């Protein structure tokens, strides 16, 4: 906490003036570029690796960047709060991109691999059931050129499965069908500080370096 309080004091002293104008605009309303669904892990710092500013991203974070699927009535099978954020960002903010971002060395994935039944906390144990199918052998083929570490492969598979869960939301299906929404699978590697995107044609996560960033920007035009 000391670091946070000191940080507030430092911000007011050194950066307050720079952000005054930014927030004067933001107070009139937000128009975020994307809904960003990521793991709660403190190291997944999108503001650093994607150079984002206040107002750029509408954010949902939870343990394991999990998106419980919807039932046939469009109700989330595990997290109304996240479902509400998905619906709000699409209907009220007209967000046109949703990014699901997993990461390397994820504690949730490691707990899963160690055995969900061994987790001594009832809510965490129950919550991770939503990502348990990442361990299913039949999903191993989803990633070509997988990372060396098994837990990182499972983490990448998990991102793809959560994106599939996202497609069970009626509002997501509707927006994809009318061409106003794109879903993106990202994976952040802590060791290399590299953000990867899932390239469907190559069936693997590819580093977004300068070259790939240029290509992705061209596709967005
Ligand atoms: Zn994590």
From the CA of 10, how far away is ligand 1's center (Å)? 29
Ligand 1 centroid to 137 CA: how many Å?
Answer: 21
Strand partners, 187: 102, 196
What's the confidence (pLDDT) of residue 26? 95
CA distance 171 to 211: 34
Does the pLDDT of residue 221 top 80, yes or no? Answer: no
Average pLDDT, stretch 159-170? 98
How far apart are the CA of 196 and the centre of ligand 1, in A?
15
Distance (Å) from CA 102 to ligand 1 centroid: 7
Distance 95 CA to ligand 1 centre (A): 24
Written as six digits, the tokens of 136 are 């299913």
Expressed in angstroms and rounded, the spacing between residue 108 Cα and the centre of ligand 1 is: 5
- Enter the pTM of the model: 0.95
Share of the chain above pLDDT 70, in %: 100
Three-state SS at 112: helix
CA of 155 from ligand 1 middle (Å) equals 8
pLDDT of residue 51: 82
- The CA-CA-CA angle for residues 58, 59, 60, to 5°, reads 140
Sheet holding 57-62, edge to edge: 57-62, 34-39, 97-103, 182-189, 194-199, 204-207
Q: Report CA(44)–ligand 1 centroid distance (Å).
A: 8
The single-letter DSSP state of residue 78 is: S
- Under DSSP, the state recorded for 149 is S
**CATH 3.40.1050.10 is the classification of domain 31-220:** yes
Ligand 1 centre and the CA of 3: distance in Å? 23
> Comparing C-alpha atoms, which of 193, 188, 186 is closest to residue 216?
186
Q: Specify the higher pLDDT residue, 138 or 220.
A: 138
pLDDT at 49 over 90: no
When the pLDDT of each residue in the chain is averaged and rounded to a whole number, the result is 95
pLDDT digits (tens, 9 = 90+) for 97-148: 999 999 999 999 999 999 999 999 999 999 999 999 999 999 988 999 999 9
Predicted pLDDT at 141: 87
Rounded to the nearest whole angstrom, what is the distance from the C-alpha of residue 39 to the centroid of ligand 1? 5
Predicted confidence at residue 220, as pLDDT, reads 80
For the segment 11-42, what is each residue's pLDDT rounded down to a tens digit?
A: 999 999 999 999 999 999 999 999 999 999 99
**Alpha-helical runs (H) found in 15-149:** 16-26, 46-49, 80-91, 107-115, 122-127
Q: What is the pLDDT of residue 48?
A: 86
* pLDDT-based confidence at residue 189 (cuts at 50, 70, 90): very high
| Nearest in space to 141 (alpha carbons), one of 199, 82, 204, 95 | 204
Residue ranges of domains in the chain: 1-30, 31-220
Q: Residues whose CB is under 5 A from ligand 1 (ion)? A: 39, 41, 106, 108
- Helix or strand holding residue 58 (H, E): strand 57-62
CB crowding 100-139: b at 16 or more within 10 Å, else e: bbbbbebebbebbeeebeebeeeeeeebbebbeebeeeeb
- Residue 196 forms beta bridges with which residues? 187, 207
State residue 50's pLDDT score. Answer: 85
Distance 107 CA to ligand 1 centre (A): 5
Decide if 200 contacts 191 (C-beta within 8 A): no
């Amino acid at each position: 906490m000391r670091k946070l309080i000191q940080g507030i004091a430092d911000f007011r002293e050194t950066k307050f003036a720079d952000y005054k104008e930014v927030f004067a605009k933001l107070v009139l309303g937000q128009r975020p570029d994307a809904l960003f669904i990521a793991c709660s892990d403190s190291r997944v710092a999108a503001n650093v690796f994607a150079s984002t500013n206040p107002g750029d991203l509408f954010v949902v974070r939870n343990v394991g960047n999990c998106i419980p699927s919807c039932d046939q009535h469009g109700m989330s099978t595990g997290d109304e709060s996240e479902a509400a954020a998905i619906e709000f960002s699409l209907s009220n903010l007209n967000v046109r991109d949703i990014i699901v971002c997993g990461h390397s060395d994820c504690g949730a994935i490691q707990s899963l691999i160690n055995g969900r039944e061994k987790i001594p906390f009832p809510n965490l144990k129950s919550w991770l059931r939503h990502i348990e199918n990442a361990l299913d052998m039949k999903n191993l083929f989803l990633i070509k050129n997988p990372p060396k570490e098994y837990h990182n492969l499972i983490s990448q598979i998990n991102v793809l499965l959560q994106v599939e869960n996202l497609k069970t939301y009626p509002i997501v299906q509707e927006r994809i069908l009318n061409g106003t929404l794109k879903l993106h699978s990202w994976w952040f590697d802590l060791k290399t500080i590299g953000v990867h995107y899932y390239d469907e044609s190559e069936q693997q996560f590819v580093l977004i370096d300068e070259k790939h960033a240029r290509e992705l920007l061209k596709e967005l035009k």
